[in-house]
Structure 1
Amino acid sequence: MHSWKSFTANRLQREHGRVGAVWQQESFDRIVRDEAEWLEKIQYIMNNPLKRWPELKTYQWVKPVWE
């Protein structure tokens, strides 16, 4: 996990001129129990770019849920 986080963080920062943490310090496994919980997790992930960079108007990997 450390290698993946290091690689992706460095690449994202280099390619997009960003500084600062990309990943949280810790991670944990969680079993998603039903569709409602799955949708809750997806919503959380989709909103992460806006929380980190509130000035974003577009996000090339997904259609933002804040539009």
Structure 2
Amino acid sequence: MCVPVDDSAMLCWLQTQLRVIEAWQEELSSRPDADLHQLERLARHYNWLTEELSRLSPYRQAA
């Protein structure tokens, strides 16, 4: 499925996903029984999504 990158609602949704991942990371980090592998996977996904949003932002500003 192709979604236009200039859709501000899509970018807003992706930014919301970053906030959800942040909250999830904080919650997991505070648990003594936290799975470190899960935290690492979340961190990798968060970093990837952050990079993708940075890459998409110039397209939004150019529109």
TM bucket normalised to smaller = 0.3 to 0.5
The structure with higher relative contact order (CA 8 Å, sep 6+) is: 2
Q: What is the TM-score of this pair, normalised by structure 2?
A: 0.35
